[in-house]
Amino acid sequence: MKRSTILAALHYTVTVVAVVYLGRQVKKPTRYVGRLFAHMMNDSHSALTDWALTHLTIDKDAMVLDVGCGGGRTIGKLA
């Protein structure tokens, strides 16, 4: 087998593994990379979340369902 073919196959394999790993970490953060993505989501969503919460009236005895978008900071703001 040619060296260029082996390198191309290796490059493809590493790319696929990296994409799958990153996809899983974005979906359900468990490691450093996932925590980094969660932190980035919290930072990028924070201003929009603050704006949206200024347009809501939430009773003290209300129950809130967090559907799970972002890194979890919104539910803390609602609490």
What is the chain's Cα-based Rg? Answer: 20
Tokens 């993505």 -> residue = 37
Query: Are 42 and 71 spatial neighbours (Cβ–Cβ below 8 Å)?
Result: yes
Q: Which domain holds residue 38?
A: 3-78
How far apart are alpha carbons 44 and 19 in whole angstroms? 22
Is residue 13 scored above 90 in pLDDT? yes
The model carries a pTM of 0.57
pLDDT, residue 69, reads: 67
Please state the domain count of the chain: 1
| Residue tagged 């191309």 (tokens) | 8
Residue that wins the pLDDT comparison between 19 and 75:
19
